[in-house]
Chains A and B, each alone.
Chain A
Amino acid sequence: MNFRNASLLSFPCAAGEGAEGGWGRSSVLPPSPLRGPSPASGGRKIKSVVRLRLYAALTMMMLGLMVAPLSYAIDPLPFKDRAEEVRFQKLAKQLRCLVCQNQDLADSDADLAKDLRKQVYEMMQSGKSDAEIKDYLVARYNDFVLYDPPLKPGTWLLWFSPFAFVLIGVFVVARILRSRAKQAGGVRPADTESGDDW
């Protein structure tokens, strides 16, 4: 049996959940103009009507895409007030959905993300602080659940390597500049070209 080719994991998010949430919005769009009378059967007039409807549909679609990010509260959670909702959304943006791992908890349509949002909401209701909620999730799902990994010895490379690379870059550039300056100042100007070798 060859198991290497089979995906070893099942993602509940792939099983229609996402389709229901993500594309459900398309029901707002007017029926597709492409299903209208075929251009061949009608004259110019019908063609332009079809085109008009196509433009309208496209415009609606564009508007839909623009509005989509605003409708991020996926589950209707009964927030006490606006402040609480803002706190919830802010927190959910810092947490990763374990199923669709490049999405945060606020964005994901995965079933598990819904459960975790509910959990976060309920912990907020019971007066837990953001830090306590994060700790709760980290205790179960590891630091990976946090979008910003915490600063600790194991993540030093992650946090500081960009600065290290900048330092290396500065060092290399400084060396090149210095050697060019030396060559330019030293002998004939034609020699400076050898500095451009690479």
Chain B
Amino acid sequence: MINRLLPLAIFLALVGLLGFGIYWNTHHEMTEVPSPLIGKPAPAFTLPLLYEPDKTLSGKDLLGKPYLLNVFGSWCPTCQYEHPILTGQIKPLGIKLIGLDWKDEPDDAKRWIAQFGNPYDTIITDRDGRSGIDFGVYMAPETFLIDAEGVVRYKRIGMFTPQNIRDELLPKIAELTGQSAKKATP
């Protein structure tokens, strides 16, 4: 009896395994590499501003308030798709939005911003990509949520969509503002 049912059991186990594989693949971006930086202090950076190259902005300057660091580049087609979402949905959240122009020519970036508009509070440039490597950036767009103490709280790999803003980003931001409210009360 058991010997007769065994093939069926093996078949069902295989169906289960492959079905799980299909489910997993459709619900996950398989090329995503989870960042080891979550929960750790953001790597230090000091980078020139796109529009005032003789001035720099560092991670220390940004301490005190949470901010989003959005990695983009004028060479990056998906950044164009993401751009209206940054303007329409991220900017209204009121959180500081820093653009990191990654591995790009400043002139190209300026042209890109002139063409599509500027959703960023500040744009810094990482021309040789060193700071990008420190942040573990491997494609664009990528976005980091960094809290008031300079700790990385969340990373989005790929573009923001209305869905993952609602499901992932907003709860994370709410966590941070809840935290700072708690800290402020005592």
Instruction: Show the binding face of A for B, using Cβ within 8 Å.
Output: 1, 3, 6-12, 15, 98-99, 101, 111-112, 115-116, 119, 138-142, 144-145, 179, 197-198
Instruction: Show the binding face of B for A, using Cβ within 8 Å.
Output: 3-4, 6-7, 29, 31, 33-37, 43, 75-79, 81, 103, 128-130, 133-136, 138-141, 157-159, 161-163
Q: Is the interface of B mostly helix, strand, loop or mixed?
A: loop
Is B36 touching A8 in the complex (CB atoms < 8 A)? no
Smallest Cβ-Cβ distance to A145: which chain B residue: B33
Report which residue of B34, B136, B162 has the largest number of chain A beta carbons within 10 angstroms of its beta carbon. Answer: B136
Smallest Cβ-Cβ distance to A3: which chain B residue: B161
A101 to B159 Cα, complex, angstroms: 19
- A1 CB to closest chain B CB (Å) equals 8
Is A140 touching B76 in the complex (CB atoms < 8 A)? no
Instruction: Report the number of A-B residue pairs with Cβ-Cβ less than 8 Å.
Output: 81
A12 to B36 Cα, complex, angstroms: 22
Known: A6-B81, A10-B141, A112-B138. A15 touches B75 (CB 8 A): yes
Is A140 touching B133 in the complex (CB atoms < 8 A)? yes
Question: Which B residues are CB-close (under 8 A) to A1?
Answer: 162
Known: A98-B33, A115-B129, A138-B36. A198 touches B138 (CB 8 A): no
Supplied contacts A10-B139, A98-B138, A142-B34, 16 more A-B pairs, CB within 8 Å: A3-B81, A3-B163, A9-B29, A9-B157, A10-B140, A12-B76, A12-B139, A15-B75, A112-B103, A112-B129, A115-B133, A139-B36, A142-B35, A144-B33, A179-B3, A197-B3
